[in-house]
Amino acid sequence: MDLQGRSAEPHVLILGGGFGGVAALKALKKAPVRVTLIDKNSYQTFQPLLYQVATDELSIDEVGFPLRNLLRRHPRWAFHRAAVTAIDLEKKQVTAEGLPPLTYDYLVIALGAVVNFFGIKGAADHAFPLYTMRDAVRLKAHVLEAFDAADKDPSRVDDGALTVCVVGGGATGVEVAGAVAELIRDELKDDYPGLPMEKADVVLYEMGPELLGPFKPKLRAYAKRALEKRGVRVCLGEGVVDIEPTRVHLKSGGVVKAHTLVWGAGLQANPLGASVGIPLVHGRLPVGADLSLAGHPNVFVVGDAAAATDARSGRPFPQLGSVAKQAGRAAGRNIASLVADRPAQPFRYLDRGTMATIGRGAAVVELPRGMTMTGFVAWLAWLFVHVALLAGGLERSLTIRDWVWNLLTRRRGKRIVID
């Protein structure tokens, strides 16, 4: 307490409860600071598994973690569910919907990304992105409603009601295409015995010449084969130019009848970054080696909101959950150092490898020193890593055991959609 009886403890404000924000919070566990975490949702989303919510393999409760649980046993931490509307670096003040202005001594901007439709006509209105829990629930509802509608009116089948297009051959596109194909083959085929399932097409469009660009050629080729084995039609060198509710116009000039288009093509930095009045780098906030904002040593930016460069390679960090998590932890530790009058340290990313799953029993894994895995072994590795990630950060409960059990036994949810 200072002489006026106010708390002398510095106030750390963390914007965003994703991988970066939560890691920053946890790194401040022992620091003599008050912390306020703000997120527009009451839960953290485990985004790498959102596609499993969309395909009814996991429930929202299994992929979400209640941020308020973090408050237990931490009386100096607060959480408010509110959308951040403005950041004022001059006044050291943040405004969020429904809250009085919040002042800070240290700020962590971990607001993540928003979907980038690259200005493609109709995409914002008719494409289904897969970045938030709401996106995943909407996509699932839409696919099931398209099948229901075709079940009632069979003329819709030839209009493309059962066709799902996926745009983007990165991890999101590959994972959702494989999972939708399995959903149709394992469940919907039995749910809709009257529908001609041979007309339930899953088509993946990728502008570039390969799927999974950042992976090694061997893994890319495996992913393509594994998708095709699951009935996914993979169209490389093809993009979309116009999206209507039931039609997709291709760059090459064709028109595809499809009532569902999943958008897995790209993200852009949260537009709030632009409001802080700092020149952006590729839409992101430029940070130094210690992740602090240029000219603002008390402001840290982590995850997809940051334009951070790996000092060793000179290249920007990939937009991965693991980067956000490690950067969040580094930012939290740097704040703790500054509070203790120690200097902030440069952030070093420890690359543990990348992976993507194509379906049950099929995945690709690329480890840092050039080692790769494909197929069932890779899938087991993927499973093991995700269990460890879920167990470490999100949930130590029955969920994991059930999830693994469901994956192994092909048990699913119940295709329940609330209007």
Our finding on whether 413 is near a copy of itself (CB under 8 A) is: yes
In contact, 18 and 110? CB cutoff 8 Å: yes
Stretch that binds a copy of itself, among 2-10, 24-32, 253-261, 396-404 (CB under 8 A): 396-404
Residues 318 to 357 in contact with a copy of itself, rule: CB under 8 A? none
Among 62, 175, 187, 395, the one annotated catalytic: 175
| Residue nearer to a copy of itself on the CB measure, 257 or 415 | 415
Our finding on whether 153 is near a copy of itself (CB under 8 A) is: yes
- Distance of closest approach, residue 253 Cβ to a copy of itself, in angstroms: 34
| Residue nearer to a copy of itself on the CB measure, 190 or 341 | 190
- Distance of closest approach, residue 100 Cβ to a copy of itself, in angstroms: 9
Q: Within 13 A of 335's CA, how many CA atoms are on the CB side? A: 37
Our finding on whether 155 is near a copy of itself (CB under 8 A) is: no
Residue with tokens 């897995």: 264
In contact, 54 and 172? CB cutoff 8 Å: no
Our finding on whether 359 is near a copy of itself (CB under 8 A) is: no
> Which of 6, 315, 369, 414 is in the footprint of a copy of itself by CB under 8 A?
414
Return the HEC string of 229-271: HCCEEEEECCCEEEECCCEEEECCCCEEECCEEEECCCEEECH
Q: How far apart are CA 30 and CA 10, in angstroms?
A: 13
- Distance of closest approach, residue 99 Cβ to a copy of itself, in angstroms: 5
Tokens of 125: 């209105």
Helices within 296-397 (DSSP H only): 321-339, 375-389
Interface size with a copy of itself, residues (CB under 8 A): 45
Residues 57 to 86 in contact with a copy of itself, rule: CB under 8 A? 59-61, 64-66, 68-69, 71-72, 75, 78, 80-82
| Residue nearer to a copy of itself on the CB measure, 44 or 357 | 44
| Residue nearer to a copy of itself on the CB measure, 40 or 121 | 40
Q: Within 10 A of 39 (CB to CB), how many other CB atoms are there?
A: 26
Q: How far apart are CA 300 and CA 14, in angstroms?
A: 9
Tokens of 221: 């080729």
- Distance of closest approach, residue 114 Cβ to a copy of itself, in angstroms: 16
> Which of 148, 242, 290, 351 is in the footprint of a copy of itself by CB under 8 A?
148
Closest listed residue to residue 344, CA positions, set 295, 298, 307: 298
| Residue nearer to a copy of itself on the CB measure, 369 or 414 | 414
**Burial of 100 per CB tally in 10 Å (0-12, 13-18, 19+):** exposed
Q: What is the DSSP letter of 285?
A: E
Our finding on whether 244 is near a copy of itself (CB under 8 A) is: no
Our finding on whether 386 is near a copy of itself (CB under 8 A) is: no
In contact, 115 and 269? CB cutoff 8 Å: no
Residues 126 to 145 in contact with a copy of itself, rule: CB under 8 A? 133-134, 137, 144
In contact, 113 and 267? CB cutoff 8 Å: yes
Residue 175 falls in the annotated catalytic set:
yes
Site string for a copy of itself, 22-51 (x = CB under 8 A): --------------------xx--------
> Which of 5, 90, 98, 314 is in the footprint of a copy of itself by CB under 8 A?
98
Give one word for 231, left, alpha or beta, with left for phi > 0 and alpha for psi -120 to 50.
Answer: left
Helices (H) and strands (E) in the chain, counts: 11, 26
- Distance of closest approach, residue 140 Cβ to a copy of itself, in angstroms: 11
Q: Which whole-number Å values give the CA distances from 309 to 42, 98, 285, in the listed order?
A: 31, 36, 12
- Distance of closest approach, residue 382 Cβ to a copy of itself, in angstroms: 22
| Residue nearer to a copy of itself on the CB measure, 257 or 412 | 412
Tokens of 119: 């200005």
Residues 181 to 210 in contact with a copy of itself, rule: CB under 8 A? 190-194
Q: Which whole-number Å values give the CA distances from 49 to 57, 63, 142, 205, in the listed order?
A: 9, 7, 19, 21
Site residues, a copy of itself (CB under 8 A): 42-43, 59-61, 64-66, 68-69, 71-72, 75, 78, 80-82, 98-99, 133-134, 137, 144, 148-149, 151-153, 190-194, 397-398, 402, 405, 411, 413-419
Catalytic positions, please?
175
